[in-house]
Structure 1
Amino acid sequence: MSHRTLPRTIENPLVKDRVTFLTTAAESEGAYEYVKVELAPGGGNGLHYHRTYSERFEAVEGELHLEVDGLLRSLRPGESATAPPGTKHRFFNPGPDPIVFHTKIEPARCFEPMLRIAYGLARDGRVRPKSGIPRNALEMAVLFELGESYMNGVPIWLQKAVFGSLYAVARRRGVEERLLRTYCR
């Protein structure tokens, strides 16, 4: 039986970035995941938070802009900042040139499969163009479960109730397995 080798680098045409997996959860035995992000001008993500893992950002090339707990910061090469669990954060590139930064997710969770699925859905045109959110609610629930990401401004109990219920349906209907098989294996 042959296994295809997953690429170390993936691209998202909507978020305008390229991610290279430097250390996967499997390689660190679950301790962390470490990625290199190449972010195009205008690229970035929305304000969100995670309850069970931290993200550490380190600027490598160019100026990385972050919002962490309401504070806007600009990181130059060699500078870093951490968003501990529960901290609302986002990264973005308002400048005219691409930037490069590293992110360490600790402890490792399901960050790699979540990114592979999200980027795959974006490449395949299965997301809303402006938000990058999957058009299919069950696929969206799988991403929220794997990424353990919560939106700013919506009570967590409501997000857990809605996405938890949808995720249970997605598992029963084989949606999660299909996404993992299509984008992660």
Structure 2
Amino acid sequence: MIAASAQRTIHNPQIGDVVTFLTTTQESGGAYEWVEVRLQPGGGTPLHYHTTFEEEFEALDGRLSLDCDGRTLLLTPGQKAVAPLGSKHRFYNQEKTEIVFRVKVLPARSFEKFLRMQYGLARDGRTGANSMPKSMLELAVVIRMGESYLIGPPVWLQKGMFGLLYRIARWRGVERRLLALYCTETAGKEGAGERYAGIS
């Protein structure tokens, strides 16, 4: 469980995005997670899908591009769209300026942990050019939290490969360390060097 006093706004210095947690899993009683995103020009996600939750998008400032099951939507402020469970989707910013939108994840899973870990690792210089963790064990934990699957490799292969890596990560204490570093009220208060001293 993430501490109630944890920072509500997090920043990814590698890609410039900012996420604010409006309603957390704990606050909604597990019903949903709701975040506000400030997405930079050219930013977005690759085409992917989820097998345990759906996402509801709402544009607030600027136009949000959303591909969903072969359709491309351009959401203007006030417009909403849903990426249903299992749908192949991605969101991105085609504008020349930052855009702002909200995403509601239903039901609540561990999406908050996923974002806190991914952004925290980026702040600590532990992600690559694609903003994903360089360490395969840290990547396995992040993927487990985000429950996202890429288009292409069959889901059974992705679940099998990353499931094995996740079990190794748990056994080696990687998940416990990431939760302690990024999902507690003291997250981000030490320097990266101190946090990762002696850790490969």
* TM-score relative to the length of structure 1: 0.95
Aligned to 1:153: 152
State the alpha-carbon separation in 1 of the partners of residues 4 and 145 from structure 2.
22
Cα RMSD after superposing both structures: 1.2
Aligned to 1:166: 165
Q: CA deviation at 1:70?
A: 1.9
Aligned to 1:139: 138
Percent identity of the aligned residues? 55
State the alpha-carbon separation in 1 of the partners of residues 7 and 48 from structure 2.
27
Runs of 4+ in 1 over 6 A off after TM superposition: none
Change (3 A) 1:4 1:105: closer
Task: Write the deviation string for residues 45-100 of structure 1: whole angstroms up to 9, x where unpaired.
Answer: 11111100000000011100111112111000111111111111111111111111
Q: CA deviation at 1:14?
A: 3.1
State the alpha-carbon separation in 2 of the partners of residues 37 and 15 from structure 1.
12
What does 1:1-40 correspond to in 2, within 5 Å? 5-40=5-40
Change (3 A) 1:144 1:122: same
Any unmatched runs of 5+ in structure 1? none
The residue type paired with residue 68 of structure 1 is C
Any unmatched runs of 5+ in structure 2? 185-200
State the alpha-carbon separation in 1 of the partners of residues 16 and 151 from structure 2.
22
Aligned to 1:110: 110
Q: Of Structure 1 and Structure 2, which has the larger fraction of its residues in strand?
A: 1
Aligned to 2:58: 58
